[in-house]
Amino acid sequence: MMDELIAGFTSHLSEAMEVGKKAKFSNTDNSLMNVLVCGLGGSGIGGTIISQLVSDKCALPITINKDYKIPSFVNQDTLVICCSYSGNTEETLEMYQQAYDKGAEIAIITGGGKFGALAEKNDHNMIQIRGGLPPRAAFGLSFPQLFFVLNQYGLINDDFIGEVESAIKLMDAEEDFVQTEAMKIAKKLHKTFPIIYTEAPMEGVAVRFRQQIAENSKMLSSHHVIPEMNHNELVGWRTPNEDLSVVFFRSKDEYYRNTARIEKTKEVAGKYTDNVNEIYAKGEGRIQQALYLIHFGDWITYDLAELKQIDSVEVDVIEGLKGILAELK
């Protein structure tokens, strides 16, 4: 099933674009000063990624919140975007209530559930997407809606539409290559502890990959970013360990000084493990490159599960935790 969902990534993106284009928001009387994106897990990672992709386009600061409590700066001049694919994420529902009590401008992205009902009851702007998938596999349906929400509020222009549509064409053209190369990388990561490195503007993509390794492949991994890791983690490479593997997410648009840093980091890590891998993003611009790397990474995590002969869909421990929390008052 997961392989079918990953293979359907571009069709999900296409569906999302059609949904987003039809969204019609009511105008707000609030003078927006900042943005807070609330969401967790597969629903929340989109906020991390979008904040980086639009950092040079959106004039307002965007903060990502993945907790029960919202920051004290939230007020009537804050746009709070609540993302919950199931519509029932308890942490996001608590954040919503706090934002609502503070009179914030609220927009909702959901597949239904309690958030669908709240949007209708309290007359919030909402983009509703098709439900029924594992949240992490619905990324293609939910993530583009963040662009549309920001656009509806006049915070970014609509250039993203062409960029996402170009990314869809790119990934469809590269699908055979991606699947072949993903399996090659998966075989090298199998039975190792992967360490993921990338440039800071692509940290959200690295986080997504780490999350997918955990959920799909049932493996632990770590991530860090250039240049920050050069000020601390680089010194940690001191002991040979062939149980470690390294994955660099690369881009032809890297800042030249970061390129030099990455090359030196490869040299240092390579002294202690031979398992150093690079994945270069294809596409023009950050949106295309991010989506390409996300899709590539998703295939790696599925292939890892296949190599381990485990179910990539199963997340019983998470469901067990939800059951415990449901019993709490």
Catalytic residue among 24, 121, 231, 329: 231
| Single-letter residue type at 85 | Y
Distances (CA, A) of 63 to 49, 125, 298: 11, 20, 26
Residue 329 is predicted with a pLDDT of: 64
Annotation says 215 is catalytic? yes
3-state secondary structure of 129: coil
- Residue 28: CB partners within 8 Å, gap ≥ 6? 79, 105, 153
| Single-letter residue type at 143 | F
pLDDT digits (tens, 9 = 90+) for 122-146: 999 999 999 999 999 999 999 999 9
Check if CATH label 2.160.10.10 holds for domain 2-157.
no
What are the residue ranges spanned by the domains of the chain?
Answer: 2-157, 167-308
* Strand-pair category, 105-110 with 222-226: unpaired
Phi, psi of 38 (to 5 degrees): -110, 130
3-state secondary structure of 107: strand
| Single-letter residue type at 186 | A
What does the pLDDT profile of the chain (329 residues) look like in tens digits? Answer: 899 999 999 999 999 999 999 999 998 888 999 999 999 998 899 999 999 999 999 999 999 999 999 999 999 999 999 999 999 999 999 999 999 999 999 999 999 999 999 999 999 999 999 999 999 999 999 999 999 999 999 999 999 999 999 999 999 999 999 999 999 999 999 999 999 999 999 999 999 999 999 999 999 999 999 999 999 999 999 999 999 999 999 999 999 999 999 999 999 999 999 999 999 999 999 999 999 999 999 999 999 999 999 999 998 888 787 888 788 86
Catalytic residue among 163, 199, 215, 254: 215
The domain at 167-308 falls in which architecture? 3-Layer(aba) Sandwich (3.40)
d(CA 309, CA 57): 44
Catalytic residue among 57, 191, 264, 322: 322
Annotation says 322 is catalytic? yes
* Cis geometry, peptide bond prior to residue 240 (ω within 30 degrees of 0): no
Annotation says 12 is catalytic? no
